[in-house]
Structure 1
């Protein structure tokens, strides 16, 4: 048996304290010290961090049938989104995917400019008289509104959703890091703030559903498809809980990751010393932003049976960790990997194609990637057509929680052209 190398950590908790205090720092140092397959111990949990495109392909694509989502992280997420695309395995996942996939084809997002422009108008008007703006909060509000219009053909209270989501993300990450938590015994022991936030998101969804059911000529959008499945017969039917879980997942997942990436994109452009970088292709700006700041910065799978990766044994039941944040900065695959350079996405290279996985890989690749790219390209184009954004104040650190958020406001100064 060939055991992978890794940091020793403390006697009882291994590297848990280091992960809790600086997750990215721990993982980065671990790969520098021990290579592309690293054994980590978090208390009773054994995990293997794999950081080579071939290893990532092995887990997420070529031999994906050897791994599942019955992991600690997915269990924590399930408290919010139930058994949905983010958390379901096997047949349940496939059923949700078949239902939702048609709505997320590229052709569905070729004509969203009017929606984006309509939602951006009031925001850009405010920017004209603002000394500075928190681009992270601005993007969160904006993308919530745009996503609701695209997916549900309705408006939502963006501030209400954002506030609830912040509580959910913080509490979910807290529970993921904690070796023990009362909510592991029963959902009744979740913190009151978390339960209230989940209830708020559920209320938003059921308000959208109630409004739709009163409509006579409903649009062919995601909500209509979910409701049709809810009213279907047989195996295709979604029960009440599945309907709620699917809608919640797509509302939250449809905006959180895109909003974060957009905020980091505007921040990175403002910080860039290259004059005129904002004139580059918006798609390339976004692609580079999600390279350096992938919202889903870590992915976990569980080995269903014993396996071997890179010559090292992966025990049955252990976790495998994949970090897009790390692989996107791997010096063997990226030149000057820490530099923000949208131009690198404008040319073909012989780089391993799975050294870039901001939307995942294999059958579980993010269903909303085309929507995210379409929204982001439109938003970036609209902003830079009217403004230049300049840095102001101290840049907050990167906060690796459930998603890769800034630790505080991302202040930028908007200057109208």
Structure 2
């Protein structure tokens, strides 16, 4: 006689077994996006896995992701290994804070990113963009290729500094420090054991030096601004005067530092990566691919295929049930825009570059919740308007002036880390229109 199935709320989700000691950790380390794509394909929209002592669930359904990030968000927090490691660089910022610290920072910082205000800082972006385009014209005349990855990083660091601080910075200092910080943070996240988990004193010297370099840039600008009492109308000025109606909730110096570091690093890094992928997709396509579409459509489709924030993590504060399966207290919930955006039941020809999937303004033509490059719910990225505004400006300016073509003999590989990066340089040749 057949045994009755267990109650729906106690059923265990299926998933890959993995090794006895570290579970699925080695498969994830070897090819993170490939492992998650295969897991979702084989086991469905909710799958159970293990990374050493940590139990995790991969959610690949708009309904399930909305449940964790919005509908039942009170049962899920950011006390995860990934956030703990990001906090080492960005402090108690919007990326890492839980309630009530997150709510306080969101209330103070969100007004800084209103679209109407952001339009006033476009001239600062145009200055840096024009300098880049002048270099590209020279490269085109001389027949020299340009490295899109390096160019986008350099452009976005300098543009971010202008938008945030109304000043220039040594872009190379920040680029070099940022590369070390991001690489080391991702290394620690994949390591089952690392001395820095015990104490920050055990961080590698290279990470400590890179963090100190970033801090020296930010803190020097903060000191100069406070001492000068200038009247600049940039993002820093608005952060310095951010307060609630009562006026008693001003950001402390530590909070200002954390906010500035987060906006400089997270804002410029994610947008630079996305722009690099956009120009890769344009350059590998047939000539004139960009002509029928708006920059918004091109950027939206780029973020579908190569979302900079390719994975998100939350911790289950208490038990729950999702899709008829039991979720244990303390479980880690993984949600990957990279995997969701390639779901064959949600997207037609999911691996193809087709900007026509989106409306002229970049909005999704399909079902709500299947497209989440900036997250969803209350934690939706506060900088999404700025990222879109900057990206549209850059894509439009470049495609109006040049036709891009990939140089031969390159290996183009997406490298998942803290963000979805290019593993190698991206060289393109330019032809003036």
Q: TM-score range by the shorter chain?
A: over 0.9
Q: Secondary structure at the match of 1:128?
A: helix
Q: CA deviation at 1:215?
A: 3.2
Q: Secondary structure at the match of 1:389?
A: strand
Residues 349 and 264 (structure 1 numbering): CA distance in 2 closer, same or farther, change over 3 Å?
closer
Equivalence for 1:50: 59
Specify which of 382, 388, 404 is matched with residue 403 of structure 2: 388
Equivalence for 1:282: 295
Q: CA deviation at 1:221?
A: 2.9
Q: Give, in whole Å, the separation in 1 of the partners of 2:337 and 2:131.
A: 35
Alignment of 1:81-160 (within 5 A): 81-130=90-139, 131-160=144-173
Q: Secondary structure at the match of 1:32?
A: helix
Q: CA deviation at 1:328?
A: 0.6
Greater displacement, 279-288 / 81-90: 279-288
Q: Give, in whole Å, the separation in 1 of the partners of 2:389 and 2:108.
A: 21
Equivalence for 1:213: 226
Q: CA deviation at 1:198?
A: 0.6
Q: Secondary structure at the match of 2:399?
A: helix
Equivalence for 1:375: 390
Specify which of 405, 412, 415 is matched with residue 428 of structure 2: 412
Q: Secondary structure at the match of 2:241?
A: helix
Equivalence for 2:419: 403
Q: Give, in whole Å, the separation in 1 of the partners of 2:248 and 2:200.
A: 28
Q: CA deviation at 1:220?
A: 3.4
Q: CA deviation at 1:30?
A: 0.5
Q: Give, in whole Å, the separation in 2 of the partners of 1:409 and 1:99.
A: 38
Q: Give, in whole Å, the separation in 1 of the partners of 2:366 and 2:255.
A: 40
The yes-or-no answer on 1:78 pairing with 2:93 is no
Greater displacement, 120-129 / 36-45: 120-129
Contact 1:117–1:382 under 8 Å retained in 2:
no
Q: Give, in whole Å, the separation in 1 of the partners of 2:405 and 2:291.
A: 11
Q: Secondary structure at the match of 2:58?
A: strand
**What's the TM-score, normalizing by structure 2?**
0.92
Q: Secondary structure at the match of 1:372?
A: helix
Q: CA deviation at 1:415?
A: 1.6
Q: Secondary structure at the match of 1:302?
A: strand
Greater displacement, 135-144 / 391-400: 391-400
Which digits, 9 at most, give the CA deviation of each residue in 1:330-372, with x for residues without a partner?
1111110111111111278762211000001111100000000
Alignment of 1:15-414 (within 5 A): 15-130=24-139, 131-228=144-241, 236-273=249-286, 275-346=288-359, 351-393=366-408, 394-414=410-430
Q: Give, in whole Å, the separation in 2 of the partners of 1:355 and 1:17.
A: 29
**Residue segments in structure 2 that go unaligned for 5+ positions in a row:** 1-9
Q: Secondary structure at the match of 1:353?
A: coil
Q: Secondary structure at the match of 2:318?
A: coil
Residues 138 and 72 (structure 1 numbering): CA distance in 2 closer, same or farther, change over 3 Å?
same
Which digits, 9 at most, give the CA deviation of each residue in 1:152-171, with x for residues without a partner?
22222111111111000000
Which digits, 9 at most, give the CA deviation of each residue in 1:202-225, with x for residues without a partner?
111012112212434422332123
Contact 1:128–1:415 under 8 Å retained in 2:
no
Q: Secondary structure at the match of 1:399?
A: strand
Contact 1:257–1:295 under 8 Å retained in 2:
yes
Q: CA deviation at 1:275?
A: 3.6
Q: Give, in whole Å, the separation in 1 of the partners of 2:166 and 2:232.
A: 7
Equivalence for 2:6: none
**Residue segments in structure 1 that go unaligned for 5+ positions in a row:** none
Contact 1:12–1:43 under 8 Å retained in 2:
yes
Which digits, 9 at most, give the CA deviation of each residue in 1:290-333, with x for residues without a partner?
11000000000000100011111110011000000011111111
Contact 1:229–1:238 under 8 Å retained in 2:
yes
Which digits, 9 at most, give the CA deviation of each residue in 1:387-408, with x for residues without a partner?
1111113132100000000101
Q: Give, in whole Å, the separation in 2 of the partners of 1:221 and 1:123.
A: 22
Size of the aligned set, in residue pairs, is: 416
Q: Secondary structure at the match of 1:320?
A: strand
Contact 2:358–2:364 under 8 Å retained in 1:
no
Contact 2:358–2:365 under 8 Å retained in 1:
no
